[in-house]
């Protein structure tokens, strides 16, 4: 499976995005570096953290690779300026952006469900403690 790893500045942090292309579409995952990573830091990340990033990308939902917006006829100079600006600002494909958004949305659902379970468990424990205190008061303790 062909893949690309891009590092770019996404204000205020430096971010690395791994795009993995497969027969079912494009999957993506990102890693936030913080300060601008040097060659040594990038090499160390590839040695130690790249496996987790690859696993995260492969677990992300796939997005069709042909999900690019249709282009209207634009003057060649304007098109060249826009392409240079887009490359400098956002080197990601729109399919990778959509894959990242879907993965973020899925993790949000999981986090919310876990938070609801924790809140219900805490409420149940508070009710049990209140009932045990009430029983103890009723018994005169």
Residue 42 domain boundaries: 3-65+89-137
The encoded tokens of residue 43 equal 């090499």
Write out pLDDT tens, residues 71-124: 567 788 888 888 888 777 765 567 778 888 888 888 888 888 899 999 999 999
Geometric angle at alpha carbon 70, from 11 and 76, rounded to 5° = 80
What's the predicted TM-score (pTM) here?
Answer: 0.47
**pLDDT per position as a tens digit, 14-46:** 888 888 888 888 888 888 888 888 888 888 888
d(CA 113, CA 122): 14
What's the total number of domains in the chain?
1
The answer as to whether 16 is a domain residue is: yes
pLDDT given for residue 68 in this prediction? 52
76, part of any domain: no
CA 66 to chain centre: 21
Nearest Cα neighbor of 35 from 61, 69, 9, 74 is 9
Residues in the chain: 141
């Amino acid at each position: 499976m062909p893949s690309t790893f891009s590092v770019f500045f996404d204000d205020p942090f430096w971010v690395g995005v791994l795009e993995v292309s497969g027969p079912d579409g494009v999957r993506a995952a990102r890693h936030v570096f913080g300060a601008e990573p040097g060659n040594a830091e990038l090499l160390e990340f590839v040695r130690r953290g790249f496996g987790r990033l690859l696993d995260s990308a492969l677990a992300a939902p796939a997005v069709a690779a042909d999900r690019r917006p249709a282009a209207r006829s634009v003057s060649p100079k304007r098109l060249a300026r826009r392409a240079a600006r887009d490359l400098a600002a956002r080197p990601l494909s729109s399919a990778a952006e959509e894959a990242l958004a879907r993965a973020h949305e899925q993790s949000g659902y999981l986090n919310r469900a876990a938070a609801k379970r924790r809140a219900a468990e805490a409420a149940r424990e508070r009710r049990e403690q209140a009932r045990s205190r009430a029983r103890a008061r009723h018994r005169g303790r």
